[in-house]
Amino acid sequence: AQKITQTQPGMFVQEKEAVTLDCTYDTSDPSYGLFWYKQPSSGEMIFLIYQGSYDQQNATEGRYSLNFQKARKSANLVISASQLGDSAMYFCAMREGYSSASKIIFGSGTRLSIRP
């Protein structure tokens, strides 16, 4: 069964520093996708970045990058040069299956707080 684990309930980081949010996953399906979402205090869910299980390179989107280590089943989100606006909840999610519309499951999230 698919499972997502985020072991950091909360993190504090100084502004302009880089931060890594941990995510490990479990699946028996060789085809899967990994996602990160941001949820600011206003409550909406914002998609940040995607990594496919067959992707050869780590995904990057602006200041966001995904440190994908397939053998360790980890997909950590790296935010470079953190900003005050990065303070939010961050969720890792996974979807199995290449061609089927399979379910998307989420981890328990990490609350990131950026200190000025």
Partner 1 sequence: NAGVTQTPKFQVLKTGQSMTLQCAQDMNHEYMSWYRQDPGMGLRLIHYSVGAGITDQGEVPNGYNVSRSTTEDFPLRLLSAAPSQTSVYFCASSSRGMNTEAFFGQGTRLTVV
The footprint of partner 1 (CB under 8 A) covers 6, 9, 31-33, 35, 43-45, 47, 50, 52-53, 91, 93, 95-109
**Closest to partner 1 by CB, 14 or 100:** 100
Give the nearest distance from C-beta 112 to partner 1 in angstroms: 14
CA 55, CA 31: separation in Å to the nearest integer? 10
Pull the structure tokens for residue 66: 């995904």
CA 46, CA 90: separation in Å to the nearest integer? 9
Give the nearest distance from C-beta 1 to partner 1 in angstroms: 10
Give the nearest distance from C-beta 89 to partner 1 in angstroms: 9
Give the nearest distance from C-beta 54 to partner 1 in angstroms: 10
**Closest to partner 1 by CB, 5 or 67:** 5
**Closest to partner 1 by CB, 62 or 116:** 62
SS3 helix, strand, coil % of the chain, rounded to 5? 5, 55, 45
Placement of tokens 């914002």 in the chain: 46
CA 36, CA 23: separation in Å to the nearest integer? 9
Q: Per DSSP, what are the bridge partners of residue 13? A: 114
**Closest to partner 1 by CB, 58 or 102:** 102
